[in-house]
Structure 1
Amino acid sequence: AIVPWTNIRMHVFRQDSLDGPFSFVGSTEGLEMIDAGVLNDSSYCYYVEVEGSYFSDGLTDPLLNLSQEKCIIVKDTLPPCPVNITVTTDCDYPSNTIEWSNPCDNDIASYEVYYSSVEGGTYQRIAVLPAGTFLFFHGPLPSVAGCYYVRALGANGKYSESDPVSCVDIDQCDLYHLPNVFTPDGDMINDLLIPFPYNFVERIDLTIFNRWGSVVFMTNDPDINWNGRHYKNDMEVSDGVYYYICNVFEIRLSGLQKRTLTGFIHIIRSNNKIKN
């Protein structure tokens, strides 16, 4: 009678050198197994111990059957895994710190960092770093807005594919805005109209009006530095409330963008001088 043989599980053994012992790699109930503990361009020999049974009375159960030995040279032809990154922004010292991880690949030759100042723009390689490096500092920058990705180069000359992109914009930082009062009375305290601390502004288009709608001051300088004098005759303008329109051109992820500010500025002089 024909008694069928049934495989129960496979035990895989590996020899790391031609004259070395075989060591247990692992077991599987299937017909294949991945051995992740090998190095590229290295030689290994394997055999498989098959545990099975005829499931017949009177026969030893289970039985062990040894395969032939098979030796190979490992050739890694697959690209490294995609690199996961995070970007941390420093608004005070305009810069970005890029950190990454690549947990599924150990056989890495180097990492390349790519950057575009705008979303959807052309990426430039800004750094090539050795394997084992997982951080890059990028700064100082005219704007923290930008997109990054990191590409891994494997020892086999293959690059990682479909690496995720991480983008940051300036909204997490203090944006350009103006105070609502200044005191140009010559006491060296708050004598000029200046903005609060800012970054990422290329230029502004500021116009200040008096209560009758006449222009008293204009500038494109983001620092403003208005001393409370009329831009035409350099005479002190009157104490009181002035209206402004300020177009701010910010360096954002979408490129140079205009943001419009409107509001009122109070001029107060401690000596109560009224001019013009």
Structure 2
Amino acid sequence: MKKLLYIFILFSFTVNAQVTISRQVIGSTGSYQVGTTMSLSSTVGEPAVQTLFSVNGILTQGFQQPSMNVDSIVTYEVINESCNGASNGSIFINSVLGCAPKADGTYSLLIKNVTDSSDQDNPAQLPAGTYNVKIIGLNGCYFFQLITVGLDSEEDCKIKFYSGITPNGDGNNDLWIVDNIEQFPENEIKIFNRWGSIVWEASGYNNDDVVWNGKNNSGNDLPDGTYFYVGTIDGETYKGWVEITR
């Protein structure tokens, strides 16, 4: 009997020599739990062991010990710097495994440029580069992540005016955006009607709190039609027209 069994085992081994079984969980027993400072996934058969640690910890248990990939811990979005010198790249953190966001749904970020160790104060005003980002969530949990902001164009930033605005309150094209003007804070913009009268003007145009929205300087809506602009930016004068359409 023993001899027959021995022969069967050898035969089976020969036939299946090319079969590889990857790491897997056998059986359905297990659970996954997330707390404010700890995440634990488990099956059966082994004590929990620590596989990753910052302030928060991630534990695994059973026959499923993973090779943890740091990129799978943090999910984030990056907007590249649009052109050389724009400093308008941005980083937004969606989630961190085992570290919940603050009550307002966001994470606090401490951003340091890897190249020169300089601190970056605004995650929405970043030049292209690689950053070491400390992500801080609820109850002080935190995690470090290297994030790279790319550069969409290696050309120097150039001023670009658009010839249309639709200030109807739908959130699309309600403001007259002048590309890259925020890189040249010494500027002045004047809007004229067809009779040559100034209807709106401002200094320090920045597409944010100083931006034309189709109203005159008194805050009243201007009628639809063609208007003309004169911009003095960094010592250069730009002229053209812009159409209001609601």
TM bin (shorter chain): 0.3 to 0.5
* Larger helix percent: 2
- TM-score by structure 2 length? 0.37
